[in-house]
């Protein structure tokens, strides 16, 4: 039975659906305010930065976060000269709507009783809910691209191009990492994926009562998804689209007041959205972790809401931890990681999983010949990886020294060329100065003093 045919999602009164939407909207707004305070608090503790975490007596810094929100609401809105006003103000709205929409298909809890009606703590579900989340993430890119294009500014346009390129490349790797989840769960509906992870792991016929969460069963997919979260959310170390030192906040450079607050809000809600998707697809969703799942009352009803938000907050803490620990990477390294590492690894991993599941379904694993062939192939690959690159290669010829001022003006080195070190530059400059001084002395010794030629030639001329 598909989610659309489920009575739980099709018979809710309209006012219950409206209550779910309004409550979820308020929760996300208040949660964003909490996450701003939470991030400042964690960064201050990790990096020994006091600042706002010591301001005000109300939970040490919460007043600072509230003040920032009020300032963004009432601050003057400035429109840059030459900007396309319609697109300029439409772009943050697109990003704001996109960051809220994905939560419509994320299950926050199980079945509960609300005002005498049995309902699920999820607004709705569709058979392709996970693909719906990826599609909404793709729509959010338009809010960034249009912001950079409509601002009529160089920094904004460069930031938009960087952001769109990195988000597209990392969305491909993210989609491939989720393909493994679809294969194991047999569904793309988020509620079905959570239910599939509640089945206990069985070791040698023994029921371990440990839920089979996909972060353990599909560890490569989980690692790839966690890496792509940072590229998708434009957070450190992958915040090349903002890059304050290079692009002065990038695509949002020209925004102020409430429109800028929309991007600020979208960034934090997008971080919570990606954490919620990670929780739903890999960490068991709203299901209680082991050993709390052994207590039936803690794994049902409203307790699911508590487990869900605790798991999501732990993933958000990981976001903040990475920001406090790692510096920003270079842009070409960012793109190389996405296209040359994550996407190929995801493709190979998905192909291996498909092959393994097909072999199990067809009964190939019971054949000793098949198992022997697989073992030989695996050992051959390991031997090639360990010893294949150890063959001696002829030494490369040293490239010719590169002179950046050969044409009279500085030019960057081409691939394969190397700039001389600072010591070489100093030595060459010293040698050049020595040569110029020696040449000057030689010319002086040959021609004599400036007035000597005139004094010696005049008497000779007169004598003649």
Burial 211-232 (b: 16+ CB within 10 A, else e): bbbbbeebebbbebbbbbbbbb
What are the Cα distances from residue 105, in Å, to 126, 279, 339? 7, 13, 29
Kindly report, residue by residue over 60-113, the tens digit of the pLDDT.
667 777 888 888 888 888 888 888 889 888 998 898 888 889 999 999 988 888
Tell me the mean pLDDT in the region 119-148: 88
Pair of tokens at residue 63: 């007043």
If you average pLDDT over each of 181-185, 196-200, 366-370, which comes out highest?
181-185
Q: How far is CA 346 from the centre of its chain?
A: 16
Q: Residue 379 in contact with residue 372, Cβ under 8 Å?
A: no
Question: Cα(400)–Cα(271) distance, rounded to whole angstroms?
Answer: 49
Tell me the mean pLDDT in the region 12-38: 90
Question: Cα(341)–Cα(231) distance, rounded to whole angstroms?
Answer: 14
> Residue 5 — very low, low, confident or very high, per pLDDT cuts 50/70/90?
very low
Kindly report, residue by residue over 307-343, the tens digit of the pLDDT.
999 999 999 999 999 998 888 888 888 889 988 899 9
Pair of tokens at residue 132: 């719906």
Within-domain flag for 154 = yes
What are the Cα distances from residue 204, in Å, to 108, 357, 367, 457? 33, 19, 19, 113
pLDDT at 459: 44
Kindly state the helix (H) or strand (E) to which residue 36 belongs, with its residue range: helix 14-47
For the cut 80, the answer to whether the pLDDT of residue 352 exceeds it is yes
Kindly report, residue by residue over 408-417, the tens digit of the pLDDT.
667 777 776 7
Pair of tokens at residue 418: 């190397």
For 7-21, 239-253, 306-320, 392-406, which range has the lowest pLDDT when averaged over its residues? 392-406
Tell me the mean pLDDT in the region 40-55: 75
Q: How far is CA 264 from the centre of its chain?
A: 16
Tell me the mean pLDDT in the region 348-369: 83
Number of domains in the chain: 1
For 8-12, 248-252, 400-404, 432-436, which range has the lowest pLDDT when averaged over its residues? 432-436
The model's pTM is 0.77
pLDDT at 222: 94
Write down the residue that tokens 């608090």 correspond to: 41
pLDDT at 458: 42
pLDDT at 308: 93
For the cut 60, the answer to whether the pLDDT of residue 390 exceeds it is no
For 48-57, 133-142, 369-378, 431-440, which range has the lowest pLDDT when averaged over its residues? 431-440
Cis upstream peptide for 237 (omega within 30°): yes
Question: Cα(179)–Cα(218) distance, rounded to whole angstroms?
Answer: 11
- φ/ψ of 220, rounded to 5, equals -60, -40
Higher pLDDT, 135 or 424: 135
Within-domain flag for 308 = yes
Tell me the mean pLDDT in the region 116-129: 87
- φ/ψ of 128, rounded to 5, equals -120, 45
Pair of tokens at residue 233: 């959310």
Residue-range definition of the domain harbouring residue 97: 78-373
For the cut 60, the answer to whether the pLDDT of residue 395 exceeds it is yes
Within-domain flag for 266 = yes
> For the chain, what is the mean pLDDT?
79
Question: Cα(125)–Cα(340) distance, rounded to whole angstroms?
Answer: 35
Question: Cα(331)–Cα(57) distance, rounded to whole angstroms?
Answer: 41
Within-domain flag for 292 = yes
Within-domain flag for 449 = no
pLDDT at 412: 72
- Counting Cβ atoms within 10 Å, is residue 21 exposed (0-12), middle (13-18) or buried (19+)? middle
Within-domain flag for 188 = yes
Higher pLDDT, 215 or 64: 215
Q: Select from 320, 331, 325, 149 the least CA-distant residue to 246.
A: 331
Within-domain flag for 340 = yes
What are the Cα distances from residue 362, in Å, to 168, 365, 370? 37, 8, 12
Within-domain flag for 29 = no
For the cut 90, the answer to whether the pLDDT of residue 368 exceeds it is no
């Amino acid at each position: 039975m598909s989610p659309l045919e489920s009575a739980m999602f099709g018979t809710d009164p309209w006012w219950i659906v409206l209550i779910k939407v309004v409550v979820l909207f308020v929760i996300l707004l208040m949660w964003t305010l909490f996450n701003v305070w939470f991030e400042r608090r964690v960064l201050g503790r990790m990096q020994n930065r006091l600042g706002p975490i010591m301001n005000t007596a109300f939970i040490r810094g919460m007043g600072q976060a509230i003040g920032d929100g009020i300032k963004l609401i009432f601050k003057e809105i400035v429109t840059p000269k030459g900007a396309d006003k319609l697109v300029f103000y439409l772009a943050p709205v697109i990003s704001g709507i996109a960051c809220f929409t994905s939560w419509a298909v994320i299950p926050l809890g199980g079945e509960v009783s609300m005002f005498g009606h049995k309902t699920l703590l999820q607004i709705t579900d569709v058979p392709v809910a996970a693909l719906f989340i990826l599609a909404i993430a793709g729509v959010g890119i338009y809010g960034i691209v249009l912001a950079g294009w409509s601002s009529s500014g160089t920094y904004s346009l460069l930031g938009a191009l960087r952001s769109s390129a990195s988000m597209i490349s990392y969305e491909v790797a993210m989609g491939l990492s989720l393909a493994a989840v679809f294969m194991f769960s047999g569904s793309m509906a988020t509620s079905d994926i959570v239910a599939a992870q509640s089945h206990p792991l069985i070791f040698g016929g023994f029921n371990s009562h440990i839920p089979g969460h996909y972060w353990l069963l599909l560890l490569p997919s989980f690692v790839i998804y966690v890496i792509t979260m940072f590229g998708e959310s434009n957070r450190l170390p992958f915040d090349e689209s903002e890059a304050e030192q290079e692009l002065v906040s990038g695509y949002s450079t020209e925004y102020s007041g409430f429109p800028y607050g929309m991007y600020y809000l979208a960034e934090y809600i997008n971080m919570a959205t990606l954490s919620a998707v990670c929780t739903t697809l890999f960490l068991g969703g709203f299901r209680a972790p082991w050993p709390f799942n052994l207590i039936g009352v803690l794994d049902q009803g409203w307790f699911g809401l508590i487990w869900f938000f605790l798991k999501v907050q732990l993933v958000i803490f990981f976001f903040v931890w990475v920001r406090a620990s790692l510096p920003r990477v270079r842009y070409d390294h960012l793109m190389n990681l996405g296209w040359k590492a994550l996407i190929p690894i995801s493709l190979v991993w998905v192909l291996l999983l498909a092959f393994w599941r097909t072999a199990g379904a067809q009964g190939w694993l019971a054949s000793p010949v098949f198992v022997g062939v697989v073992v030989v192939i695996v050992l051959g690959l390991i031997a090639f990886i360990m010893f294949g690159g150890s063959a001696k290669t002829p030494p490369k010829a040293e490239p010719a020294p590169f002179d950046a001022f050969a044409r009279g003006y500085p030019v960057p080195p081409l691939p394969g060329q190397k700039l001389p070190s600072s010591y070489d530059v100093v030595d060459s400059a010293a040698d050049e100065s020595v040569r110029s001084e020696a040449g000057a002395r030689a010319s002086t010794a040959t021609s004599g003093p400036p007035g000597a030629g005139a004094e010696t030639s005049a008497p000779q001329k007169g004598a003649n």
